Structure 1
C-alpha cells in the first residue's frame, strides 16, 4: 500500500516556517496608549534592530518605540 506523503510534506513545511519565524525574534514595537504595543519590524539580530531604531525618529518623530525580544511569538490558529 502506498504511503501518504501529504501529511509529511505539510508537517515539514510547518517546521521550516516555524524555524524561519524564530530567526526574526528581535522586534521594534511602537508604544500605543493603554500599555499596548504594535510590532513595526522584525530583525535577526539586535544590532540590526538598533540601526533601524536610529532611523525611526527621522520618519515619525512623535512616536515612541522600543526594542523587544519576542521569543513567545505564536501563529494564529486557523
Structure 2
C-alpha cells in the first residue's frame, strides 16, 4: 500500500514552523500608550536584540523601546 506523502509533508512543515518560531524568543517591543507594547522585531539572541535596539534608538530617539523575552508567544496564538 502506498504512503500518503502529502500528509507527512504537511505535518513536517507545521513542526518546522513551530520550531523556527520558538527560536526567536527575544524581541524588541515598542512601548505605546495605554500600557500596550508592539513587537518590532524578533531575534535568536539577546545580544542581537540589544544591538538592533541601539540602532532603533538612534533612528527614532523619541520612541521608547525595550528588549523582552517572549516566552508566552505560543500560548497567545492558541
TM-score bin, normalised by smaller chain: 0.7 to 0.9
RMSD: 1.6
- Paired residue for 2:40? 40
Q: Could you report, residue by residue, the CA deviation over 1:29-71 in whole angstroms, capped at 9, with x for unpaired residues?
A: 0001111111111110001111111111111111101101112
Query: Which blocks of at least 5 consecutive residues in structure 2 are unaligned?
Result: none
- Paired residue for 1:5? 5
Structure 1 stretches of 4+ moved >6 Å:
none
Report the number of matched residues: 77
Give me the whole-angstrom Cα distance separating, in 2, the residues matched to 1:76 and 1:8.
23
- Paired residue for 2:50? 50
Asked if 1:17 is matched to 2:11, the reply is no
Give me the whole-angstrom Cα distance separating, in 2, the residues matched to 1:28 and 1:71.
13
Give me the whole-angstrom Cα distance separating, in 2, the residues matched to 1:76 and 1:69.
16
**TM-score, length-normalised on structure 2?**
0.87
The structure carrying a bigger helix percent of its residues is 2
Asked if 1:59 is matched to 2:77, the reply is no
